[in-house]
Amino acid sequence: MMKNKKLGRFTWFDGLNTVLMVFLCMIMLYPMLYIIGRSFMNPIEKAEHVLRVIPRKPVLEAYNYIFTRSSFIVSGMKSSVIITVLGTALNMLATAPMAYVLSKREYPMRNLITALVVFTMWFGGGMIPNYILVKSLGLIDTYWALWLPGLISSWNMLVLRNFFQMIPKELEESAKIDGANEIRIFVRIILPLSTASIASISLFYAVGHWNSWFNSMIYINSNYKLPLQNHLRRVLNSISALNSDGAAMGNDALTIARIPTADILQYACIVVTVLPIIVVYPFLQKYFVKGVMAGSLKG
């Protein structure tokens, strides 16, 4: 009887735990589903049903307006991909070697350089000095103005340095005995063992480049070089004029239903902006949970 009671008690606990987990998942999923569903609603249904997530009659007016009224959406998507892919590659080409060098305790200037890196996390020159520097280097209206000022993130570099320090030194010592130099050790041993960390830091850099719009607004003058976020911002700014034109045409239900309001258009812009990251994330998610150090040492 005691055994059955214990099993029953544990079953109740598992049931309550499952209900709690499902409730927490719903809390986290509801905002995302809310934004996606509201982006397909017409203004009348949105106004009448404040909490409704799934629209009864989905409409595409907001998405049609984004892709038809903005002539630079395609070029903006192309620029965002270029900025994100090449920018992330440059970030990792600079961050990983620096993190590897600073992970060496025998490096004589390790503490000084680390202190300078940490100093940049607390203090910065400001927007105006940065603009003057970028302009003096002749980087205005080039992608390099978006890449070089933030080429190395202090936080990401320190995280990667700490990960390199966790790699057993025996691996490097055995490679040196076989005649490998530091570059060969870094490329052939350290980087393959750091796949999970490299993928995580790369994702941080990629999300930062993809979501960035302020630096582009300051440094980029050509419309065809502006990323997607800047064009979507222009679309949001122009929706007020669209609503004013719709009000001037009349307030009948048909006209109102065919004019996307600012918040519906904002939901659609969020979906368009976040969708590429959501598509890429599952391919990198496995590296976050994979134990790359398992089995790296034998005996």
62 assigned to some structural domain: no
For residue 22, with 0-12 CB atoms within 10 Å meaning exposed, 13-18 middle and 19 or more buried, which class applies?
A: exposed
125 pLDDT tier (thresholds 50, 70, 90)? confident
74 alpha-carbon distance from chain centroid = 20
DSSP state of 225: G
Q: What is the mean pLDDT of the chain?
A: 80
Over residues 263-289, mean pLDDT: 77
30 assigned to some structural domain: no
Q: Name the token pair of 94.
A: 């600079």
Residue pair 297/168 in contact (Cβ under 8 Å)? The answer is yes
Residue pair 151/90 in contact (Cβ under 8 Å)? The answer is yes
Instruction: Compute the Cα dihedral for 50, 52, 55, 56 and give only its sign.
Output: negative
60 assigned to some structural domain: no
Q: Which stretch of DSSP H or E encloses residue 37?
A: helix 2-39
Supply the pLDDT for residue 235: 76
pLDDT of 27 above 60: yes
Over residues 9-20, mean pLDDT: 78
28 assigned to some structural domain: no
297 assigned to some structural domain: no
For residues 140 and 224, what is the distance between their CA atoms, to the nearest angstrom?
A: 14
Structurally, the chain folds into a number of domains equal to 1
Domain that holds residue 258: 74-289
pLDDT of 4 above 70: no
pLDDT tens per residue, range 79-102: 999 999 999 999 999 999 999 999
Supply the pLDDT for residue 70: 60
Residue 257: which CATH number?
1.10.3720.10
Q: Which stretch of DSSP H or E encloses residue 265?
A: helix 262-289
69 assigned to some structural domain: no
pLDDT of 14 above 60: yes
pLDDT tens per residue, range 133-142: 999 999 999 9
pLDDT tens per residue, range 220-243: 998 888 898 888 887 777 766 555
For residues 148 and 131, what is the distance between their CA atoms, to the nearest angstrom?
A: 12
